[in-house]
Amino acid sequence: MAKAKDTVFFCKECGYESAKWAGQCPACHEWNTFVEAPAEQTVKAAVRKVASIPSDGEKKQVPLADVTATEDERILTHIEEFDRVLGGGIIKGSLVLVGGDPGIGKSTLLTQVCKALSDDGHKVLYITGEESLGQIKLRADRIGSFTENLLVMAETDLDAIEAALSEERPEVAVIDSIQTMYRPDVTGAPGSLGQVRECTALFMQLAKGLSISIFVVGHVTKEGVVAGPRTLEHMVDTVLYFEGEAQGTYRILRGVKNRFGSTNEIGVFEMRSDGLNEVRNPSEFMLMGRPENASGSIVSCSIEGTRPILLEIQALVARTGLGNPRRSSTGIDYNRMNLLIAVLEKRLGFQLSECDAYVNIVGGVRINETALDLAVLIAIASSYLDIIVDAGTIALGEVGLSGEVRNVSMIEARVNEAKKLGFQRCILPKSALKTLQAIDGVELIGVTDVKEAIDRVRGK
């Protein structure tokens, strides 16, 4: 039987579209990522339905010189951790995806954002497909009192939501969550790839057409956000991830994609009984509960966006009888860890091929910065040699393949952050000493290679 032409196949990972199914995606080379979904034409139909997109019927091509930028039209929530991750407030008419594990606090965060905005006089509409209005109220009661500016609506039908948005014209709307929304005229259950794509496309049009900033909640599945991480991420302006361990109290809001700002900012929150509290000094927070007199632990400083954050790096190196030693890294790149282990083997003669090695950045953050190399290397060495690194010491520096310790950016800001939290010693690249002014109360120990660094840790 001939196949209906209204479905296509596309890759969950990269969004590559094809008329035929394929085992391996020709674009991103991932296996088994092809799924069937309604063709683009239904999305286009939805787009056409939004009558109020400006410039319909008008001349569409205009001189760039005449275009007025709306870049600066931002709405501030005054929740600093949140505004900063967005790049300095909410851009008018932007579509923001807030992803995270179920139960991590996405609805709580967005309810608090709604409260902050509505208290400030902005009109906000919170649409839920997950809970009843009564359940929303119960959560809201824990957070505080709300003004008339915040409207709530329990709805999953996209047509009703579209009508409500067009009628109320709020400045900001929240859709909680994309997995529960559906269009009756599109095949597939709510949460299926076709529905999610369709809904997201419509929300994008509504955001731009009606100039409403829309936050869309997306639950993360094991493989990533909803129907494959990339597909949705391509469609929206900004992607934020809300992370943390459900049992722990800290939560980290991270920008993954941002058309209007940098993506390396993070916001740190603490979940309390009355909602999420901002953590203004994440360094102190990250170092809380540090073990005393334990080998394999050292502090370093990472720059996240504009802020220096101190982090504890832990390593555990244990002898193994197995031929294939186990290696695991949490918070840093796995390959980078292996590289540093190889440097220790080659330059210092450590017998790490007989040892399991685990490296972890405490606090659940993920850091992709080479400035932490030296600290990771020292943590591994400290555990291997079973020597304790003095608790008042931090380490900064990139490690090269010949074992040389190289300079890193913004070193002064990093050392100053360490000083603020009472650190007295800093092991850093010798080359940094040329530009770095003496910092009161912090002993700066310049090293040229990893051997020198390990010798200093050993107290030689």
Binding interface with ligand TYD (CB under 6 A): 100, 102-108, 139, 142, 271, 273-275
The nearest distance, CB 279 to ligand TYD, in angstroms, is 15
- The residue number whose beta carbon is nearest to ligand TYD equals 107
- How far is the C-alpha of 308 from the C-alpha of 338, rounded, in Å? 26
Q: Are 408 and 374 in contact (CB under 8 A)?
A: no
139 binds, among ligand TYD, Mg ion, none (CB under 5 to 8 A by kind): ligand TYD
How near is the Cβ of 152 to ligand TYD at its closest, in Å?
15
Closest CA to 209 of 259, 153, 162: 162
The dihedral sign for the CA sequence 123, 128, 132, 138 = negative
Which residues make up the interface to Mg ion (CB under 5 A)?
A: 107
Minimum distance from residue 241 beta carbon to ligand TYD (Å): 11
d(CA 220, CA 139): 22
By beta-carbon proximity to ligand TYD, the closer residue of 139 and 307 is: 139
Q: How far apart are CA 202 and CA 160, in angstroms?
A: 13
Q: How far is the CB of 275 from ligand TYD (least distance, A)?
A: 4
Between CA 101 and CA 430 the distance in angstroms is 43
Q: Which does 44 bind (CB under 5 to 8 A by kind): ligand TYD, Mg ion, none?
A: none
324 binds, among Mg ion, ligand TYD, none (CB under 5 to 8 A by kind): none
Q: At closest approach, how far in Å is the CB of 187 from ligand TYD?
A: 27
280 binds, among Mg ion, ligand TYD, none (CB under 5 to 8 A by kind): none
Q: Which two tokens stand for residue 83?
A: 């505004």
Chosen from Mg ion, ligand TYD, none, partner binding at 142 (C-beta under 5 to 8 Å by type): ligand TYD
CB-wise, 107 or 383, nearer to Mg ion?
Answer: 107
Residue among 104 and 378 whose Cβ is closer to ligand TYD: 104
Element (H, E) at 73: none
| H-type alpha helices, 76-132 | 80-85, 106-119
Q: Which is nearer to ligand TYD, 245 or 354 (CB)?
A: 245
Nearer residue to ligand TYD within complex by CB, 107 or 200: 107
Our CB check for Mg ion shows the closer of 40 and 101 to be: 101
Measured from the CB atom, is 26 or 102 closer to ligand TYD?
A: 102
Write down the residue that tokens 């969004």 correspond to. Answer: 15
Decide: 423 and 299 in contact? Cβ < 8 Å.
Answer: yes
Shortest approach of ligand TYD to residue 402 CB, angstroms? 47
| H helical segments located in 1-105 | 40-49, 80-85
d(CA 429, CA 411): 10
CB-wise, 14 or 104, nearer to ligand TYD?
Answer: 104
Measuring CA to CA, how many Å separate 292 from each of 62, 72, 289? Answer: 65, 48, 9
* Partner from ligand TYD, Mg ion, none contacting 55, C-beta within 5 to 8 A by type: none
* Pairing between β-strand 213-221 and β-strand 74-75 as defined by DSSP bridges: unpaired
Nearer to ligand TYD, 85 or 271 (CB): 271
**Angstrom distance (rounded) from CA 303 to CA 326:** 30
> Cβ of residue 276: shortest distance to ligand TYD, in angstroms?
7
The entry of ligand TYD, Mg ion, none that residue 275 binds, CB within 5 to 8 Å by partner kind: ligand TYD
Contact indicator for 375, 298 with CB cutoff of 8 Å: yes
| CA pair distance 103, 271, nearest whole angstrom | 11
Tell me the pairing of strands 95-100 and 124-128. Answer: unpaired
Structure tokens at 451: 């051997």
Among ligand TYD, Mg ion, none, partner that 326 touches (CB below 5 to 8 angstroms by kind): none
Query: How near is the Cβ of 243 to ligand TYD at its closest, in Å?
Result: 11
274 binds, among ligand TYD, Mg ion, none (CB under 5 to 8 A by kind): ligand TYD
Q: Of all residues in this chain, which one has the CB nearest to Mg ion in the complex?
A: 107
- Smallest distance from the beta carbon of 334 to ligand TYD, in angstroms? 28
Task: Please tell me the distance from the alpha carbon of residue 260 to that of residue 182, in angstroms, as a whole number.
Answer: 29
